[in-house]
Amino acid sequence: MSASTLSLEKQPAIDDWLAIETDGRVSVCSGKVDIGQRISTAIAIIAATELDVSFERIDLHPVDTTTSPDEGYTSASNSMQESGQAIRLACATARKVLVQLAAKALDVDQNVLDVTDGVVLSRTTNRSITYFELMGGQKFNLPVDPSAVTKSATCYRKVQKSIKPLGLVELINGTTQFVHDMVVPNMLHARVIRPPNYHARLLRLDTSDAEQLGVQLVRNGSFLAVAGSDEYLTIKAAQRVADTAHWSRDRELAVENIYQSLVTNSRLSLPVKNGAAVEEPISAIGAPPQGTAFTLNGRFERPYLMHASIGPSAALAHFDHGYLTIWTHSQGIYPLRATLAEALNLSLTSVRLIHRLGPGCYGHNGADDAALDAALIAMAIPNRPVLLKWTREDEHAWEPYGPCMVVEIRACLDAKGNVSDWSHETYSDTHRTRPRPGPNKVGPSRLLAMQHLEHPLEEHIPEPALSAPLAGVHRNADPIYSFPNPRVIKHLVRDMPLRTSTLRSLGAYTNILAIESIMDELAISSNTDPLVFRLRHLDDDRAKAVITAAADHARWRQKPRRTGFGQGLAFARYNNLKAYAAVVVELEVDDLAQVKLVSAVIAVDAGQIVDPDGVRLQLEGGFLQSASWTLYEEVKFNEQGITSRDWDSYPILRFDNIPEIDIVLMDRPDEPWVGPSEASIGPTAGA
C-alpha cells in the first residue's frame, strides 16, 4: 500500500482535503505541519496545478485536530509522498467533478471546456461558469478517485513560475506569529523549574518569595512550575523558587565512556535483511574470503547531538469546563492528542490540538514535552489560558537528544580491487520515542513531565521496530552499493545515560558517514579514484547520474593541489528508497587544525520537483546542519547533569564558516516525487 493510499484510507472523501468557498477561495487541508521545509508552499502548488486555479487563491488551513486529516507525524521526508500525493488525487478528482458539473450547467460536452483560474469556458458557445458558482460553500460528498488523471510536469512548471512562497514575506518583515508570540485575554505566563538531572526528586522548597511576587505555584510531585500575569515577574519568581528548591541526589548520571558502554551494555541484536531487522540468529563474522587482497576495519563514533533549535519550545494551553485546547509546534498533533488524553485521564473528544509555528526542528525536540507542561499547569489553574515557554537551559538540557552511536565495518577487496566482503554493525540507543498511544501507557511514559509527577510512570523501554524498513538504528546501514552478501547487524543498546529520540535522518547520518568513509579508504588502497570506485560498485543508473553530476559541477580532482586543501565526495540514497544525493566539499585545514569550509556542490534526484526553491533550501539546510554536527557539536554531561546548557558550551556552525553552496537539481518529471529534507545529511558528513 502506497503512502498516499494510507492517507486516503483514513480520509477517503474529497471534502477531507479541500473546499470550494463562496468568496473565490479554495481551502486546502493537510495533516502535515510546516516546520520550515516549505511543505505548505509545495502543497499549494499541487492544489493550484491540479485544480487549474491561481496559486493566490489557495488557503492552506493550520493543522488542527478538529478539521485536518490525521496523517500522523511530519517526519522521515514523507510529506510529499503522503500528503502531497493525497491532495493531488483529491484535487484531480474535484476538478473532474467540477468540469462535469460545468458541462451540465452550460449544456455542452465536457470535451469542449477549458479551465483557467477556476473559470470553466466553453470553446463552442463562449459561455462560462466558475467553480465558485458551481460549488461555492457546498460539499462534494464524493470519495477521492485513487486513479484520477493528474497534471503533467509541464503544468506544474507553469505554476512554479508565478508563486510567492507562503509565509516568506512575514518572515522577512518580522510579522510571523510563533506560538511564543500568542496573546489571548486573561492569559498567564508560566515557567517550569527543572531538577538538576533526570533522577533528582524534589524534597522541599520555600515558596514565600514567589508568593510575594504574586505568582501561583503549581506542584505535582517533582513537577514544579510558576504562573503569573506578568511575564517578567514570573521569570524572576521561577529563579527564586529554583534557588530555594532542595532535590534528592540519590542517583546520578552514569559517566562511563559512552562508546565503550555502547558495545558492552546489554542489548538486543538483530540481523538486517532488505532494510528491515528480523528475528533470526546473528551470523558470526567469518574470516576474509579466499583471494582477499586487502582487509580494512573501521570504527566510527558519534556523540549525543542536540536539535539545537535557535528558539526554545513553548505551548499555550487552556482548560475550560473540562475541555483542553493546546496550541503547539508539535510535529504530530494527532498522536500527541491521544497521548495527552491518556496521560491526563481525559476523553479524546475533550482534547483539541492546534499547530502553530515554532522553532525549526527536524525530529522530536521539546515541543511535545512543553505541550504537556502547559496542560498540567492549565489544569491546575482552570479557565485561564497559560503560555508556557522553555528557557534556553531547558531546551539544551531536557530535550530528547539524537543518540550516541558506534559503527564498526569490515570490508575486503579482491585482487581486482572489488569489494568481496562487507560487514556492518551499528550500536545505538533508540531513535524512536515520539509520544504515540500504546499498551501500558507507553505513549505518556515518553513525555518528560510524566517522570516527575507524584505518581510517575516507569521509563519507556524501547523495543526494535521489527520488519519496519530502514527504521532508526539501521537506517541506511544496508549499503546501496552492489556487494556480495553484505552482513548488516543492528544492536539496540540498553541502559545508556541520556534520553534520546528522533533527530534528523535518525541512524542514516552515522551509517552513511561510516560507509562512505570506508569507500574512500578502499578506493585509496586500490589506487582508484573514489568517484570511479563508487561508480564501479553501483548498478542504479540514477545513482550514477547524481554522483557524476556533482563531480562534474565541482570539477572533481581538476583543481590544483595545495597544502591544507582537500576535496571530498560522498553519496547516498536516503532510506535506500527516497531521494538520491551526492555532495562534494572543498575545505582547508590550518596549522591549528581549524577547518574552513570553502565550497560545496550538492546534486539531488528527488523525482519530479514541485517546488525547486524549496528543494534547494532543504538541501542547503541539511548540509549546514550535518556540517555543524560533524565539525562542532557534542552534548557534554557529568554525574550532576547536562553541562551543555548554552551556545558557548554547545557550539554550532557559525555564519563565518558557511561555504558557497551550489545545488544541482536533477528533475525527473516521469518519476514519483519524494521528500529531499534528509537527503544531504549523510553525504555531507562523508564528504
C-alpha angle 129-131-134 in degrees, rounded to nearest 5: 75
Residue 490 exposure: Cα atoms within 13 Å on the Cβ side: 35
User: Phi and psi dihedrals of 585, rounded to 5?
Assistant: -115, 135
What integer pLDDT is reported at residue 167 of this predicted model?
Answer: 84
3-state helix, strand, coil in the chain (%, to 5): 30, 25, 45
Query: Domain extents for the chain?
Result: 3-170, 183-249+308-398, 258-280+288-306+401-432+471-525, 540-687
What integer pLDDT is reported at residue 43 of this predicted model?
Answer: 95
Closest CA to 462 of 452, 448, 472: 472
**CATH class, range 258-280+288-306+401-432+471-525:** alpha beta
pLDDT band, very low/low/confident/very high, at 224 (cuts 50, 70, 90): very high
What integer pLDDT is reported at residue 586 of this predicted model?
Answer: 97
Q: What is the mean pLDDT of the chain?
A: 94
Is 50 exceeded by the pLDDT of residue 391?
Answer: yes
Residues 239 and 213 sit within 8 Å (Cβ to Cβ)? no
Contacts of 207-211 with CB under 8 Å at 24 or more apart are: 207/241, 207/244, 209/237, 209/240, 209/241, 209/244, 210/237, 210/240, 210/241
520 grid coordinates: 574512500
pLDDT band, very low/low/confident/very high, at 3 (cuts 50, 70, 90): low
d(CA 565, CA 567) in angstroms, rounded, equals 7
pLDDT band, very low/low/confident/very high, at 450 (cuts 50, 70, 90): very high
What integer pLDDT is reported at residue 1 of this predicted model?
Answer: 44
d(CA 70, CA 88) in angstroms, rounded, equals 17
Give residue 631's Cα distance to chain centre.
21
Q: How do residues 328-381 score in pLDDT, each as one tens digit?
A: 999 999 999 999 999 999 999 999 999 999 998 999 999 999 999 999 999 999
Closest CA to 289 of 478, 488, 426, 423: 423
What integer pLDDT is reported at residue 158 of this predicted model?
Answer: 86
d(CA 510, CA 492) in angstroms, rounded, equals 15
Closest CA to 166 of 56, 328, 80, 20: 56
> Within 10 A of 349 (CB to CB), how many other CB atoms are there?
8
Minimum mean pLDDT among 136-140, 159-163, 241-245, 650-654: which range? 159-163
Closest CA to 438 of 455, 462, 454, 403: 462
Strand 595-605 relative to strand 637-638, pairing: unpaired
Residues 501 and 398 sit within 8 Å (Cβ to Cβ)? no
d(CA 326, CA 378) in angstroms, rounded, equals 10
d(CA 567, CA 552) in angstroms, rounded, equals 13
Q: How do residues 288-344 score in pLDDT, each as one tens digit?
A: 999 999 999 999 999 999 999 999 999 999 999 999 999 999 999 999 999 999 999
Average pLDDT over residues 654-683: 96
In 112-270, which residue ranges form alpha helices assigned H by DSSP?
131-135, 153-160, 168-173, 208-212, 231-244, 258-264
Is 70 exceeded by the pLDDT of residue 389?
Answer: yes
d(CA 171, CA 71) in angstroms, rounded, equals 26
Is 90 exceeded by the pLDDT of residue 414?
Answer: yes
Q: How do residues 117-169 score in pLDDT, each as one tens digit?
A: 999 999 999 999 999 999 978 999 999 999 999 999 999 988 887 788 888 88
Average pLDDT over residues 275-286: 91
667 grid coordinates: 528533475
**Which residues are CB-contacts of 393 (< 8 A; sequence separation ≥ 6)?**
194, 645, 646
Is 70 exceeded by the pLDDT of residue 5?
Answer: no
Average pLDDT over residues 268-277: 92
> Within 10 A of 575 (CB to CB), how many other CB atoms are there?
24
Dihedral of alpha carbons 456, 462, 463, 466, sign: positive
Is 60 exceeded by the pLDDT of residue 180?
Answer: yes
Q: What percent of the chain has pLDDT over 90?
A: 86
Average pLDDT over residues 480-503: 96
Minimum mean pLDDT among 70-84, 605-619, 666-680: which range? 70-84
d(CA 492, CA 483) in angstroms, rounded, equals 25
588 grid coordinates: 582547508
654 grid coordinates: 557559525
Would 3-170 and 540-687 be classified into the same CATH topology? yes
Domain 3-170 fold: Aldehyde Oxidoreductase; domain 4 (3.30.365)
pLDDT band, very low/low/confident/very high, at 467 (cuts 50, 70, 90): low
**CATH class, range 183-249+308-398:** alpha beta
Stronger pLDDT, 136 or 218, i.e. the higher one: 218
DSSP state, residue 440:
G
Residues 181 and 231 sit within 8 Å (Cβ to Cβ)? no
SS3 409: strand
**Which residues are CB-contacts of 293 (< 8 A; sequence separation ≥ 6)?**
413, 414, 415, 417
d(CA 463, CA 461) in angstroms, rounded, equals 7
Give the right CATH number for 540-687 from 3.40.190.10, 3.30.70.360, 3.30.365.10, 3.40.50.1860. 3.30.365.10
C-alpha angle 577-627-650 in degrees, rounded to nearest 5: 120
What integer pLDDT is reported at residue 458 of this predicted model?
Answer: 84
Is 60 exceeded by the pLDDT of residue 498?
Answer: yes
Average pLDDT over residues 176-183: 95
pLDDT band, very low/low/confident/very high, at 461 (cuts 50, 70, 90): confident
272 grid coordinates: 538486517
Is 50 exceeded by the pLDDT of residue 456?
Answer: yes
Helix (H) or strand (E) holding 543: helix 541-553
pLDDT band, very low/low/confident/very high, at 4 (cuts 50, 70, 90): low
